[in-house]
Chains A and B, each alone.
Chain A
Amino acid sequence: MELVIPQVNWAVMAPMLVVAVSALSVLVVDLFLPKERRGLLAGISLLGLAFAFMVSVRLWGREEQAFKGMVALDPLALFFDLVFLLVAALTILISPEYLKREEAHYGEYYVLILFATLGMMLMASGLDLIVIFLGLETLSLSLFILSGFLRGRLSSNESALKYLLLGAFATSFFLYGIALLYGSTGTTNLPRIGKLLQGVLTGTDPLLFLSMGLLMVGLGFKIATVPFHAWIPDVYEGAPTSVTAFMIAGTKAATFAAFLRIFPYALSSLQADWTRILAALAVLTMTVGNVMAIAQQNVKRMLAYSSIAHAGYLMVALVAAGEPSIGELAAPSLLFYLVVYAFMNLGAFGVIIALGKKGEMNLTFDDYAGLGFRHPALALAMAVFMFSLAGLPPTAGFIGKFYLFTAAVQAGYVGLAIIGVLNGVLSVYFYLRLVVAMYMSLGEVEPTQLTLSPALAAAITLSAVMTLYLGLFPGWLFDRASTAVLAFVG
């Protein structure tokens, strides 16, 4: 018997392989490292991510496939890869300080973050529903463990259990969706599904309609679309703060990548159906997220609810992307906003970590009172993130939303854009409440002892600078986002 070694185009997998190898090496090095030197693991992870980043940049512009068209290397995948690597790197920068404080500084943390990143990259590169599912599972399993990483804390355990139960449930919806789609088309390959469905209307095939709905539920759960958002506050509040930041920015980006691969392109012929549903969900998601966030007293929980609202804004772009002929701004604006969101969100969580105290303390609005004059630099950074999240110029959050809503108007969804901007006003209330607390409420005047690790300081500074920079000079990134999408469509 002859052993046939299949021809594999490994270049397609290169960024993922780099991440996987660095994850494994962290695992091995961890075995030989004394406890107090675990900071080194963060360094190794960062090096690995940086290397993967460089590889991805090098590969930019190439369009190849491997594994019989199951995995793609195209600008869209690479753009998302870069986003994930960025999110992971920022997460790792803000993590050590937090983990040490909570006495949970174990090497496995970095391994899991890297594997979760790998899962995200797989999701974005998948041209086959099965590959996307594999990525989703790799991501989810790592996150289940990460959200329960603070073993000693009840809320962390609760978070992990809730996430596991509901997450597994949602994943099964996704899997059913794949099965039904396979049943009606005979394939799980997305481009082929797209071709087969050309000219087919959902009305003619209830199976197709059902599978579309199930896929939407499965993915909708991950980005916390209302009404599949109930798990968000508890999971995000209970999980370690750094993991919450990672989940909010990373999972969201990965799931939107999958959404983009599946809905506007493979299921483009069903566009009339799913855009209608998604538009309704987007309105609900934006509004519910913002309204719920208003009532929060805990900053972390507030950001958790606000992440729901931001998912809603992004869904507006997704709806617009359903009209590829006239909505050419839609998909790029989605990509752009994901980058912006990564910076402002991780930056904000960085500040939360910097100010937090052991045992997840010091997280309420009242704890931020007077911060503006106790720690001016930190408060200034937080103010930048809040203004950006609220969408005020000249920050990146404004220009990001501007792109999103321009895309919506361009595709003919003026109503969605109006609801979106009005939601922005609503969100001003709770984001600026933090600014009010920091600058306008009286708190302790004496500066408390606060030492920032260089890594944390670097992460916060980078995020703040990028939030402002992208607000003033968004062109270069948006052009790249456009290239990423154009290559994919073409």
Chain B
Amino acid sequence: MDLPILSIITFLPLLGAFILLFVERRREAFIKGLAFVVSLVGFLLSLHLFAAFRADTPELQFVEKVPWVEGLGVSYFLGIDGLSLFLVLLTTFLSAVAILASFSVVHKVKEYMICMLLLETGMVGVFVALDLLLFYIFWEAMLIPMYFLIGVWGGPRRIYATWKFILYTMAGSVLMLVGIIILYLLGGRTFDLPALSQVSIPPGLQRWLFFAFALAFAIKVPMFPFHTWLPDAHVEAPTAGSVLLAGVLLKMGTYGFLRFALPLFPQASVEFAPLILFLALVGILYGALVSMIQPDLKTLVAYSSVSHLGFVMLGMFALTIQGVEGAILQMVNHGLSTGALFLIVGMLYDRMHTRMIEELGGLYRPLPLLGAFFLIVAFSSIGLPGLNGFVGEFLILVGTFLRSKLYAVLAAVGVILAAVYMLWMLQRVMFGEQRGQEAGHLFDLSGREIAVLLPVVLCILWIGIYPHPFLKRMDASVQHLLQQIQVRQAISHQPSAFRILDLGLRISELGSLHQSFNPKSEIGNPQSSDRRPLIAESLREGWNSSSLR
């Protein structure tokens, strides 16, 4: 492959936005069409990534690397691996969906579409950049279009929400900038992530740096107690803004932990893991409980994001292979199901002109199609077996169980609570006595709206029924990541004998991975969960498997 495909996917939307600048404002249909075509082409191109991705290696793929600011050691360094592949796909997919869903925008269409395309460039850039400074530039630059989307096309309290959004996220990320600078000077004048991952950082400093990075990511996720910006931003953002905010932007935080915090500061990550697990658990339960009492559909979905992202963090910081893979899959799942929920809430709002749950009721009868989609998506969000949410949450719970049984049990309570708030909401909105507008005035989904929702629901089903193609592409990278953490932690902690021991443990655990997603074999095979304590045995196995590799 000689074509710089990642660059094309990243900057095609930017090019589209640039062209839109010169299109006459009145030609709205053309503007919408062009924006959609550009985002669709971006998605189709990213499908190529999926097809050509080699699942058997943790190496970075589709790498592009050219020096950029030579004096400073900044390079234009893009690449993906199993950690980022699906997030790139999710971004291009949801961008196209969101742009199609925003055809109903009537004010300032040109500027709107420019912002959407710029946002897409920023988001894809975050997931493909492997140079720390380049990453930071995308990370911050992406705030600008989002800031406009909320502030110009948002709801009544949009200005307050946009302030809160931008100040909160900026306050979080500037300390990361100082952290990046320190790393850069420490690591011999480079921002190259793979190279920096080899630098060993003294434990004291590592804690500070981890703190600086973690704060930026935790605010973006958002982890409890940094979540307060989220409901405001979600409620005030226009529908497509909410979709991308929930679907993609929040993933940047979790991705940041995965891509940067874990490999760069392994020791500190392990050290802080209990705290993060605790906060994640609080987030799961708190988000779910608060969701239950929300009067507004949009805030309900927003708080449910806090809960779901808590799951992602829980799985990730369990630092087991199942947990991490579950976390990545759950990022995608949450993007799909919450994105779809926001789309449906937006469609309901277009019809009913309210999002207040108590003003709605009995809508299933006049809106059967919308109701059906709503049901599927809500079930996916709850984690019903057969749909995508189940796969992710199950893996996360298994992964957490290996780390701490108590946490797994408590997190499972969160799943139950999710069922409570979702089903109760569905019951009030879709069933029962019909309220709100007269049935005669309601139109079920239009062709365009079906075209928006159907692909999302198909993905939900696909991941739910056959997640293998997804998990397969993550395996190698996740293994590599965990190995890296383990090994580097060993290097700085212990003499070399222990290092081998640790490595053996790790590799043996990885061996059991491929069976890890088949619920039956997992349950029927207690070995995989009991393997951890049996170090001697794993050591033996580890030698075997390492000689096999």
Residue contact A440 to B177, C-beta cutoff 8 Å: no
Report A88 CB to chain B, min CB distance, Å.
28
Using Cβ atoms and an 8 Å threshold, which residues of chain B touch A406? 181, 184-185
Using Cβ atoms and an 8 Å threshold, which residues of chain A touch B147? 432
B 164-184 binary contact with A (CB < 8 Å = 1; else 0)? 001100110011011001101
Residue contact A432 to B166, C-beta cutoff 8 Å: yes
Q: Is A394 an interface residue (CB 8 A)?
A: yes
Contacts A406-B184, A428-B170, A440-B159; A418 near B178 (Cβ below 8 A): yes
Q: Is A152 an interface residue (CB 8 A)?
A: no
Report A190 CB to chain B, min CB distance, Å.
28
CA distance A413 to B170 in the complex (A): 22
The residue of chain B having its C-beta at the shortest distance from the C-beta of A405 within the complex is B181
Using Cβ atoms and an 8 Å threshold, which residues of chain A touch B136? 393
Contacts A417-B181, A424-B174; A436 near B159 (Cβ below 8 A): yes
Stretch at the interface among B69-77, B327-335, B506-514, B533-541: B69-77
Q: Is B108 an interface residue (CB 8 A)?
A: yes
CA distance A439 to B162 in the complex (A): 12
Q: Is B461 an interface residue (CB 8 A)?
A: no
Contacts A418-B175, A428-B170, A478-B71; A394 near B137 (Cβ below 8 A): yes
Q: Is B352 an interface residue (CB 8 A)?
A: no
Interface centre among B72, B162, B184 (most CB of A within 10 A): B72
Stretch at the interface among B138-146, B295-303, B370-378, B403-411: B138-146
List CB contacts (< 8 Å) of A421-437 with chain B: 421-422, 424-425, 428-429, 432, 436
B 439-454 binary contact with A (CB < 8 Å = 1; else 0)? 0000000000000000
Contacts A393-B137, A406-B185; A373 near B167 (Cβ below 8 A): no
CA distance A33 to B248 in the complex (A): 64
Residue contact B137 to A398, C-beta cutoff 8 Å: yes
Residue contact A393 to B72, C-beta cutoff 8 Å: no
Q: Is A414 an interface residue (CB 8 A)?
A: yes
Interface centre among A405, A425, A441 (most CB of B within 10 A): A425
The residue of chain A having its C-beta at the shortest distance from the C-beta of B182 within the complex is A409
A 45-74 binary contact with B (CB < 8 Å = 1; else 0)? 000000000000000000000000000000
CA distance A474 to B137 in the complex (A): 14
CA distance A441 to B159 in the complex (A): 9
Using Cβ atoms and an 8 Å threshold, which residues of chain B touch A418? 175, 178
The residue of chain A having its C-beta at the shortest distance from the C-beta of B184 within the complex is A406
Residue contact B141 to A440, C-beta cutoff 8 Å: no
Report A433 CB to chain B, min CB distance, Å.
9
CA distance A402 to B151 in the complex (A): 27
Q: Which of B68, B71, B178 contacts A421 (CB 8 A)?
A: B178
Report B173 CB to chain A, min CB distance, Å.
9
Q: Which of B71, B137, B140, B141 contacts A479 (CB 8 A)?
A: B71
CA distance A307 to B148 in the complex (A): 26
Residue contact A440 to B170, C-beta cutoff 8 Å: no
Q: Is A410 an interface residue (CB 8 A)?
A: yes
Q: Is B158 an interface residue (CB 8 A)?
A: yes
Residue contact A425 to B178, C-beta cutoff 8 Å: no
Q: Is A130 an interface residue (CB 8 A)?
A: no
The residue of chain A having its C-beta at the shortest distance from the C-beta of B25 within the complex is A376
CA distance A392 to B145 in the complex (A): 12
Residue contact A409 to B181, C-beta cutoff 8 Å: yes
Using Cβ atoms and an 8 Å threshold, which residues of chain B touch A349? none
The residue of chain B having its C-beta at the shortest distance from the C-beta of A401 within the complex is B177
Report A476 CB to chain B, min CB distance, Å.
9
Residue contact B167 to A425, C-beta cutoff 8 Å: yes
Using Cβ atoms and an 8 Å threshold, which residues of chain B touch A341? none
Q: Is A475 an interface residue (CB 8 A)?
A: yes
Q: Is B152 an interface residue (CB 8 A)?
A: yes
Q: Is A144 an interface residue (CB 8 A)?
A: no
Contacts A392-B144, A436-B162, A440-B151; A428 near B167 (Cβ below 8 A): yes
Chain A contact patch, size range: 20 to 34
Using Cβ atoms and an 8 Å threshold, which residues of chain A touch B151? 436, 439-440
CA distance A392 to B136 in the complex (A): 10
Contacts A392-B140, A406-B181, A406-B184; A422 near B71 (Cβ below 8 A): no
Using Cβ atoms and an 8 Å threshold, which residues of chain A touch B184? 406
The residue of chain B having its C-beta at the shortest distance from the C-beta of A471 within the complex is B137
Residue contact B171 to A425, C-beta cutoff 8 Å: yes
CA distance A477 to B141 in the complex (A): 22
B 240-263 binary contact with A (CB < 8 Å = 1; else 0)? 000000000000000000000000
Contacts A398-B137, A436-B151; A405 near B177 (Cβ below 8 A): yes
Residue contact A398 to B71, C-beta cutoff 8 Å: no
Residue contact B108 to A373, C-beta cutoff 8 Å: yes
Q: Is A174 an interface residue (CB 8 A)?
A: no
Using Cβ atoms and an 8 Å threshold, which residues of chain B touch A387? 144
B 267-305 binary contact with A (CB < 8 Å = 1; else 0)? 000000000000000000000000000000000000000
B 308-328 binary contact with A (CB < 8 Å = 1; else 0)? 000000000000000000000
Using Cβ atoms and an 8 Å threshold, which residues of chain B touch A405? 177-178, 181
Using Cβ atoms and an 8 Å threshold, which residues of chain B touch A441? 159
CA distance A439 to B151 in the complex (A): 8
Using Cβ atoms and an 8 Å threshold, which residues of chain A touch B69? 473-475, 478
Interface centre among B70, B147, B163 (most CB of A within 10 A): B147
Residue contact B159 to A392, C-beta cutoff 8 Å: no
Residue contact B178 to A414, C-beta cutoff 8 Å: yes
CA distance A473 to B143 in the complex (A): 21
Q: Is A268 an interface residue (CB 8 A)?
A: no
Using Cβ atoms and an 8 Å threshold, which residues of chain A touch B111? 372-373
CA distance A394 to B162 in the complex (A): 20
Q: Is A225 an interface residue (CB 8 A)?
A: no
Using Cβ atoms and an 8 Å threshold, which residues of chain A touch B71? 475, 478-479, 482
The residue of chain B having its C-beta at the shortest distance from the C-beta of A421 within the complex is B174
Report B487 CB to chain A, min CB distance, Å.
29
Contacts A405-B181, A406-B185; A440 near B140 (Cβ below 8 A): no
Q: Which of A392, A410, A414 contacts B143 (CB 8 A)?
A: A392
The residue of chain B having its C-beta at the shortest distance from the C-beta of A428 within the complex is B170
CA distance A439 to B112 in the complex (A): 12
Report A486 CB to chain B, min CB distance, Å.
12
CA distance A120 to B171 in the complex (A): 37
Using Cβ atoms and an 8 Å threshold, which residues of chain B touch A422? 171, 174
Using Cβ atoms and an 8 Å threshold, which residues of chain A touch B143? 392
CA distance A398 to B140 in the complex (A): 10
CA distance A482 to B159 in the complex (A): 43
Report B23 CB to chain A, min CB distance, Å.
13
Using Cβ atoms and an 8 Å threshold, which residues of chain B touch A373? 108, 111
Residue contact B185 to A409, C-beta cutoff 8 Å: yes
Residue contact B178 to A392, C-beta cutoff 8 Å: no
Using Cβ atoms and an 8 Å threshold, which residues of chain B touch A372? 111
Report A50 CB to chain B, min CB distance, Å.
28
List CB contacts (< 8 Å) of B100-157 with chain A: 108, 111, 133, 136-137, 140-141, 143-144, 147-148, 151-152
Using Cβ atoms and an 8 Å threshold, which residues of chain A touch B162? 436, 440
Using Cβ atoms and an 8 Å threshold, which residues of chain B touch A414? 178, 182
Using Cβ atoms and an 8 Å threshold, which residues of chain A touch B177? 402, 405, 421
Q: Which of A392, A402, A417 contacts B141 (CB 8 A)?
A: A392
CA distance A55 to B67 in the complex (A): 33
- Interface, chain B (partner A; CB < 8 A): 68-72, 108, 111, 133, 136-137, 140-141, 143-144, 147-148, 151-152, 158-159, 162-163, 166-167, 170-171, 174-175, 177-178, 181-182, 184-185
A-B CB contact pairs (8 Å), 16 listed: A392-B143, A393-B137, A393-B140, A402-B177, A405-B177, A421-B174, A421-B177, A436-B151, A436-B159, A439-B148, A440-B151, A440-B159, A474-B69, A474-B72, A475-B72, A478-B71
Known: A392-B140, A421-B174, A428-B167. 13 other contacts (CB 8 A): A387-B144, A392-B143, A393-B136, A394-B137, A405-B177, A414-B178, A417-B181, A432-B147, A440-B151, A440-B162, A475-B68, A475-B69, A475-B71
Question: What are the 5 tightest A-B residue pairs by CB atom distance, in nearest-first order?
Answer: A421-B174, A393-B137, A440-B151, A475-B69, A409-B181
